[in-house]
């Protein structure tokens, strides 16, 4: 009986030692994880397949486009944006009236909002014309390449964005075009 009691005490002491060792290890690791995990915001990146629009842009004549404050190239891209994102539908057959339908209106409206914002910023002097041209050129490139892609998550991100600066950052910094 005495040997059994000694045997049980030894087994309990060994198992308790393992438990205390695991708790001590957990406490040490908690201290390291607090210093190692700094509060960082995860930036989601949207990836879309891309292609060049050089052929389409070269086919647009100077007579087809109007003047734009950011230059001739942006005016061509805006004309191409309108031709790709909008189309006319007859209201009633035989009636000459038509209504304009927009493909992916969330993206189209976001691009137009960014254009208005950049125009105001250039007039105020907050942004240079070169910077505005570069940013809007990139926004238009993204808009062309997402037209035929699955953009549900991208459109949700656009809907959650509340101001034009955030929209510009979304289009220019969080979208990766894969050529």
pLDDT digits (tens, 9 = 90+) for 123-144: 999 999 999 999 999 999 999 9
Question: What does the pLDDT average to over 47-74?
Answer: 89
Contact (Cβ atoms closer than 8 angstroms) between residue 53 and residue 147: no
Contact (Cβ atoms closer than 8 angstroms) between residue 179 and residue 115: no
Taking the model in full, what pTM does it have? 0.72
**How many other CB atoms are there within 10 angstroms of residue 151's CB atom?**
17
Q: Which residues contact 94 (CB under 8 A, 6 or more apart)?
A: none
Q: Which of 137, 175, 173 is nearest to 155 (CA)?
A: 175
Which two tokens mark 38? 């700094």
């Amino acid at each position: 009986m005495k040997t059994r009691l000694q045997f049980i005490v030894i087994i309990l002491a060994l198992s308790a030692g393992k438990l205390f060792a695991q708790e001590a290890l957990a406490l040490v690791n908690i201290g390291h994880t607090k210093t190692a995990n700094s509060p960082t915001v995860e930036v989601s990146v949207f990836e879309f397949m891309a292609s060049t629009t050089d052929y389409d842009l070269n086919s647009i004549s100077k007579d087809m486009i109007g003047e734009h404050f950011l230059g001739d190239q942006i005016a061509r891209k805006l004309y191409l944006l309108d031709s790709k994102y909008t189309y006319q539908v007859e209201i009633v057959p035989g009636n000459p009236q038509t209504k304009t339908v927009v493909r992916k209106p969330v993206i189209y409206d976001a691009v137009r909002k960014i254009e208005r914002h950049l125009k105001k910023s250039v007039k105020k002097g907050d942004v240079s014309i070169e910077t505005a041209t570069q940013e809007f050129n990139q926004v238009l490139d993204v808009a062309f390449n997402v037209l035929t892609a699955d953009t549900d998550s991208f459109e949700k991100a656009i809907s959650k964005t509340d101001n034009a600066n955030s929209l510009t950052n979304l289009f220019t910094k969080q979208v990766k075009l894969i050529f």
